[in-house]
Amino acid sequence: MTGIGRMKASRPNKEGKWAWRLTGFVTLCVYIFMFAPIAATVILSFNASMFGGFPMTGFSLQWYGKLMANEAVLAAFRTSLWIALVTAVATTAIGVVTSFALVRFDFPGKQMLSTLVILPALVPETILGVGLLVLIKAVDQPRTLLLLVLGHILLAVPYVVLITQARMVGIRRVYEEAALSLGASRFSSFREITLPLLIPAVVAGALLAFTISFDNTSASLFWRPAGVETMPTQILSMLKISISPEINALGTVMILVTVGIPLIGGLIMQSLTRLKRRGEPKEEAR
Amino acid sequence: MKNRWTLYDPRLAWMLIAPVLLLLIFFLVLPIAVMAVYTFFTFVTAGVETSALTAANWHEFLTDSYYHGFLLKTLRVGAMTALLCGVLGYFPAYFIWATSFKHKWLLLLLLIVPFWISFTIRTFSWINILGEQGVINVALIKMGIISEPLPMLYTEGAVIMGLLHFLLPYMILNVYVSLESIDRTLISAARSMGCTSAQAFREVTLPLSLPGLAAGLLLCFVLAAGSYVTPQLLGSGRDALFGNLIYDTIMSELNWPMGATLSIVLFVVLGFFAAIYTRYMGMSQIVKGLGG
């Protein structure tokens, strides 16, 4: 049974070979397309030139130095970090109990809720942004940081629910029921049985919620309180002035943070599961 | 106390879903409902409106061709982006699915990495490629092919390029998920019955992957048509889309009733396309494509 995955292996023909080569070529082009701009940004961040563009005039770390001295950027970074941390924790908690209810329980309106819960991922952020602003204007409330965080939770909740739900479906309820029949309380059966089995999805969901919040731009433009800049809105306002090499340096730092955290998280998860020899499928790719 | 509760008591379920329900009601349902009411409010002057009900906003939207032009352009750009995504995204999805490459997971991981990189950064990084001092112009001038930098940035092409860059991973993952669910023995069967590989693809693989392709097209279309940052960064004033129009109406003109009207229009128009899609395809494919 080796030939199933390789359709061409069974009967190679010229036409199929060329089609396969074309597919490979387009795939390569798409990957280059995906990463070339990012690579250019990273390279340019080390450019000694005054202008944020090619050609490279020499290697320099001065833009990183300038960045570290830029108080507005640092403040925005801290703001975004806090918002993203709170969002990640809160969204994961909400997402896990929601998935638990959706998978284990039957209640009226369940179908509607599972549709409603993914809507924030499908409705354009501009609309969500305006909607919330109109609502708080109607009840005469100011824009606050809490509002921004709750908004971010709304944007991240669909993804966390989908991820944890997919894993919850695979956890058989007999385990929990066995714990219950042995005298465990509802809460401790959840904490001792369900949650440990759910951990890969919890970590993946929390990481995703973190990056969704940390990256959010359009909705944050509407929701942020006056005078507060998150990292992406700070970048946007810097871009309005000029494309300085400092922005390329900032972009590079951000890429390191947002790509590094999930990668490291995934690696830790992998080695943890390997330690426990549970043989779970890799989950960090979410 | 809990003794009277059954094992999977609906009351417990309601307690579990209470937080998400409150969030969805207060941050999704209620805002859109209030926004719908706001479309009938009267605009007095910047930032001030009264609750005197009027159809003026709707009248203005329905009669002013300025808005129609924006809407049509937005739908056109969204459709073009979605189609390009479909064509360009199918190849990598198919390649990842069919390849016997040992480190296939790496190809998948590389598709996920862009989701981790800030959308704003991914968008502005195109300035380093397309701009007057970008890779392409500098390279072409160095090689002596052109003497003046080509005006590539701040055009509709640049906007579509940026949207493609943002949406291709969504498309590829959607198609890939759908390809993964195909029973591969079907293809072997088709081949053993005498299909060429092209025929097997056309008759078996392609039709069975259509749900993923359709879900990807819808997702790309909706997200492109609702975009704000990409046209703002990569387009000129002429390339603004409906999202930019909404933002300017509210944040610059402070015309809230009109901003609400435009938001509802976009919501209804995109919802219309989504409804057509779910009518034929259901929601499940979208759910899978989003990570479920």
Q: Are B129 and B123 in contact (CB under 8 A)?
A: no
Contact flag B191-A38 (C-beta cutoff 8 Å)? no
**Across the interface, which of B17, B118, B201 has its CB nearest the CB of A113?**
B17
* Among the listed residues B19, B71, B7, the one whose alpha carbon sits nearest the alpha carbon of residue A181: B7
- For chain A, 286 residues long, give each residue's pLDDT as a single digit of tens: 344 444 444 445 677 788 889 999 999 999 999 999 999 988 888 887 776 667 777 788 888 888 888 899 999 999 999 999 999 999 999 999 999 999 988 888 888 999 899 999 889 899 999 999 999 988 988 999 999 999 999 999 999 999 999 889 888 888 888 888 898 888 888 888 889 999 889 988 998 899 889 989 999 999 999 889 999 999 888 888 776 788 888 889 888 887 887 788 778 877 877 776 554 444 444 3
Dmax over CA atoms of chain B, in Å, equals 84
**Which whole-number Å values give the CA distances from B164 to A129, A209, B84, B197, in the listed order?**
23, 23, 8, 30
Q: Are B55 and B261 in contact (CB under 8 A)?
A: no
Topology annotation, domain A71-276 = MetI-like fold (1.10.3720)
Q: What is the pLDDT of residues B3-55, one digit of tens each?
A: 567 778 888 889 999 999 999 999 999 999 999 999 999 998 887 888 888 89
Q: Report the alpha-carbon distance of residue B236 to residue A123 in Å, rounded.
A: 25
CA-nearest residue of chain B to A1?
B185
Q: B43 forms bridges with which residues in the sheet?
A: B49
**Across the interface, which of A54, A127, A186 has its CB nearest the CB of B133?**
A54
CA angle B108, B109, B115 (to 5 degrees): 110
Q: Which residue's entry shows tokens 């009840």?
A: A139
Q: Are A44 and A53 in contact (CB under 8 A)?
A: yes
Q: Report the alpha-carbon distance of residue B226 to residue B263 in Å, rounded.
A: 10
Inter-chain Cβ pairs, chain A and chain B, closer than 8 A: 317
Q: Report the alpha-carbon distance of residue B23 to residue B18 in Å, rounded.
A: 9
Contact flag B35-A180 (C-beta cutoff 8 Å)? no
Q: Are B89 and B177 in contact (CB under 8 A)?
A: no
* Among the listed residues B243, B256, B81, the one whose alpha carbon sits nearest the alpha carbon of residue A125: B243
Q: Report the alpha-carbon distance of residue B217 to residue A170 in Å, rounded.
A: 29
Q: What is the pLDDT of residues B192-239, one digit of tens each?
A: 888 888 888 888 888 889 988 999 999 999 999 999 999 999 988 888
SS3 label, residue B83 = helix
Inform me whether the C-beta atom of residue B230 falls under 8 Å from chain A C-beta atoms: no
**Which whole-number Å values give the CA distances from A221 to A148, A149, A236, B262, in the listed order?**
10, 13, 10, 18
Which helix (H) or strand (E) segment holds residue A122: the answer is: helix A119-122
Restricting to B residues 152-211, those with a Cβ less than 8 Å away from any Cβ of A are 164-165, 168-169, 172, 184-185, 187-188, 191-192, 196-198, 200-201
- Ordered by where they begin, the domains of chain B are 67-289 (1.10.3720.10)
Domain boundaries, chain A: 7-44, 71-276
Contact flag A154-B2 (C-beta cutoff 8 Å)? no
